[in-house]
């Protein structure tokens, strides 16, 4: 069992620093205790799913100082809207090499 944080967003037209910050957040998340992996897709709507060992790891990530700054920029510049969902993953199955 592990947890998935599902971040669904609609972007604004502002791109100032977005790609660099998004890449940095993935790098930073990988350094966090309890981080298991991340997957992302973007069209008109973006979805990023990060995977975590437990709820404490998710809470620590949400409070990371650099992540807090990125969240603030997201709210003021990069996102029209977003929603975050946290789900417990009780089972996983796959075909080929698609696990986290």
CB neighbours (10 Å) of residue 17?
A: 13
Q: Is residue 96 part of a domain?
A: no
Which residues make Cβ contacts (< 8 Å) with residue 89, sequence separation at least 6? 1, 2, 3, 4, 51
Q: Output the pLDDT for position 99.
A: 63
Q: Is residue 98 part of a domain?
A: no
Instruction: Supply the angle between the helices 18-30 and 65-73 in degrees, to the nearest 10.
Output: 150
Query: Which tens digit of pLDDT belongs to each residue from 50-76?
Result: 999 999 999 999 999 999 999 999 999
Q: Which portions of the chain are predicted below pLDDT 50?
A: none
CATH number, domain of 12, equals 3.30.70.100
Q: Is residue 100 part of a domain?
A: no
pTM flag (> 0.95): no
> How many structural domains are present in the chain?
1
Domain range enclosing 32: 2-89
């Amino acid at each position: 069992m592990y947890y998935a944080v599902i971040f669904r967003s609609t972007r604004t037209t502002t791109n100032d620093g977005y790609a660099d910050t998004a890449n940095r957040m993935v790098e930073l998340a990988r350094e966090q205790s309890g981080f298991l992996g991340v997957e992302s897709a973007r069209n008109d709507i973006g979805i990023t799913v990060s995977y975590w060992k437990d709820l404490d790891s998710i809470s620590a990530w949400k409070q990371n100082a650099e992540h807090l700054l990125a969240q603030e920029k997201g709210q003021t510049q990069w996102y029209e809207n977003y929603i975050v969902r946290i789900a417990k993953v009780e089972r996983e199955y796959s075909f080929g090499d698609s696990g986290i």
